[in-house]
């Protein structure tokens, strides 16, 4: 038995990018994965690939802005596989723009998905983790929480909130629960929304020139999960070597 084999892991934002890569990697190492995302067709495609490789996966259309959806995802893990060992809060969005653009609706979406989505996951999983005397929260933040740059203030604020909430949870968790923050640098995903602004388009294109593949982050998540029960990896920062 490895530190991953046999564990039940729920992953939000699992239909693409880091979530998809994490689902495939963990299932390949023997985890039973429960996949949540809004795009049902893409979720089912990921689950089929896992099944074809001999793994086990369950899926549920999940909008992390809705508390009941996170509760249903956690309930599915326990109904289908009998327990939940790890919750990977990966779902996130990153519309970027100067504050002067006043894209208030984008700001609201960022906070709803990136911050409330993590909190709703904690609310869904924490009581069960307490009851079973074990459990692991893996929350995906960003290097944007460590270095603020123009056009990314609200996104950086949302990911800073993830780090702060995670640290508070870690301190409250006690000796039986684990809390890990994974902070990716530039990664080749579709999180950054092209809003038609040529300057933003150029910024996104520059990101993608040096971006890491999503499986680089999946390996970091696997590293945290596979540690012995008494070892809690607090934060892993993974960035491209070319990133400033």
The answer to whether position 67 is within a domain reads yes
Residue 114: count of CB within 10 angstroms of its CB: 26
Confidence category of residue 66, pLDDT binned at 50, 70, 90: very high
The answer to whether position 1 is within a domain reads no
CATH of the domain at 85: 3.40.50.720
Contact between 186 and 215 (Cβ < 8 Å): no
pLDDT digit string, tens, across residues 14-53: 999 999 999 999 999 999 999 999 999 999 999 999 999 9
pLDDT at 195: 62
Predicted TM-score (pTM) of the model is 0.95
What is the 3-state secondary structure of 66-106? CHHHHHHHHHHHHHHHCCCCEEEECCCCCCCCCHHHCCHHH
The answer to whether position 3 is within a domain reads no
Confidence category of residue 192, pLDDT binned at 50, 70, 90: low
pLDDT at 35: 98
Q: Across residues 206-225, what is the average pLDDT?
A: 93
The rounded mean pLDDT for the chain is: 94
Domain encompassing residue 171 = 8-237
The answer to whether position 158 is within a domain reads yes
pLDDT at 199: 79
Q: Across residues 156-172, what is the average pLDDT?
A: 98
Confidence category of residue 193, pLDDT binned at 50, 70, 90: low
The answer to whether position 242 is within a domain reads no
Confidence category of residue 198, pLDDT binned at 50, 70, 90: confident
Number of domains in the chain: 1
The answer to whether position 108 is within a domain reads yes
Between CA 173 and CA 8 the distance in angstroms is: 20
Q: Across residues 67-89, what is the average pLDDT?
A: 98
The answer to whether position 164 is within a domain reads yes
Residue 175's SS3 state is coil
The answer to whether position 25 is within a domain reads yes
pLDDT at 201: 76
Confidence category of residue 1, pLDDT binned at 50, 70, 90: very low
Active site residues: 155
pLDDT at 92: 96
Q: Across residues 86-104, what is the average pLDDT?
A: 95
């Amino acid at each position: 038995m490895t530190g991953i084999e046999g564990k039940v892991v729920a992953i939000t934002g699992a239909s693409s990018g880091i979530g998809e890569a994490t689902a495939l990697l963990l299932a390949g190492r023997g985890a039973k994965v429960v996949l949540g995302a809004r795009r049902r067709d893409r979720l089912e495609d990921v689950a089929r690939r896992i099944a074809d490789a001999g793994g086990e996966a369950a899926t549920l259309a999940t909008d992390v802005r809705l508390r009941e959806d996170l509760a249903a995802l956690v309930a599915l893990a326990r109904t289908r596989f009998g327990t939940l060992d790890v919750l990977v809060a990966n779902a996130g969005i990153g519309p970027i723009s100067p504050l002067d653009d006043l894209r208030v609706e984008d700001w609201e979406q960022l906070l709803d998905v990136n911050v409330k989505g993590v909190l709703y996951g904690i609310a869904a999983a924490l009581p069960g983790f307490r009851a079973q005397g074990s459990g692991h929260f893996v929350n995906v933040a960003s290097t944007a929480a460590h270095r603020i740059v123009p056009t990314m203030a609200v996104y950086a604020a949302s990911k800073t909130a993830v780090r702060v909430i995670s640290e508070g949870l870690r301190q409250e968790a006690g000796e039986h629960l684990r809390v890990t923050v994974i902070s990716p640098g530039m990664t080749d995903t579709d999180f950054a929304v092209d809003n038609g602004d040529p300057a933003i388009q150029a910024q996104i294109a520059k990101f993608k020139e040096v971006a890491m593949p999503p499986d680089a982050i999946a390996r970091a998540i696997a590293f945290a999960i596979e540690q012995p029960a008494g070892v809690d990896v607090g934060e892993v920062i993974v960035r491209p070597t070319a990133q400033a």
